[in-house]
Amino acid sequence: MKIPFLRAPAAPLDPALVAPMSTAAQPELTDGQRIGVLVQHGFTGNPASMRPWADDLAARGYAVEMPLLPGHGTRWQDMNKTSWSDWVTTVEGTFDRLLAENDAVVAVGLSMGGALCLRLAADRGDDLAGIVIVNAAVDTLRKDVKVLPLLKHVLPAMPGIANDIKKPGAEEYGYPMTPLRAAASMFAGYAELRRDLPKITIPVLYFRSADDHVVDISSSRALNAGLSSKDFEERVLENSYHVATLDHDAPRILAESAEFIERVTRQGRGQG
């Protein structure tokens, strides 16, 4: 059986666009403290969707580590050779490097990257000052997700979810396809994460687009119902779609996340 969308060629990705990022802290810009920030892209995406945010954080003096998740930034077929556990392991390893070199660490993420930050907060919250998540995915109302465990054996992929951006001309350079084996693993990871949301007690700043064509309202409901964090705020973005880090509300995300990071790391030093 021939499926037209599977024969569509994937545009080659510029290695510079998808390259990970690693910068050292500049404590002279952060009151003498070394602050690290883990910056995480989402499913079928790559660091291009997060680079403006990462650049802004680095300019403020933070050590920034922005990894490229296994299976991402190459060909969509490569994702079907990886899984949620691979992505969790990558995030944990990046976090450990930041933790070893800095006085405090915050994690920020988009979509599945936000879910990976939540996973980190559930598992390593004692070592993490806080997290900032944008359109984090932890649940879905889509009924077809229930058949993914079977469908992944029949189809390698379905049409992709990239470039849900309201701002004209913006481009996240994500995969044109959604690899189904990888997607099935991701949703299984989300189910486990939802059960562990009550373990999260650290500060959480949550940005959510009012109009998101990728992540629906069920994720917001799950976070509001499940998190144990007393310092939790949900802020709605009125002028962006899913990839809000590249959309009209990006300047707001950059400014307000910087305020949050400064506050929670100051409190962690006993000065707040």
Catalytic residues: 111, 212, 242
Q: Residues with Cβ < 8 Å from 28, sequence gap 6 or more?
A: 61
Query: 175 burial class (0-12, 13-18, 19+ CB within 10 angstroms)?
Result: buried
d(CA 145, CA 122): 24
As given in the structure block, the two tokens for residue 42 are 């989402």
d(CA 141, CA 215): 9
Backbone torsions φ then ψ of 2, nearest 5 degrees:
-100, 130
d(CA 238, CA 21): 29
Under a CB-based contact definition with an 8 Å cutoff, are residues 33 and 27 in contact?
yes
d(CA 243, CA 162): 8
Amino acid identity of residue 167, one-letter, is K
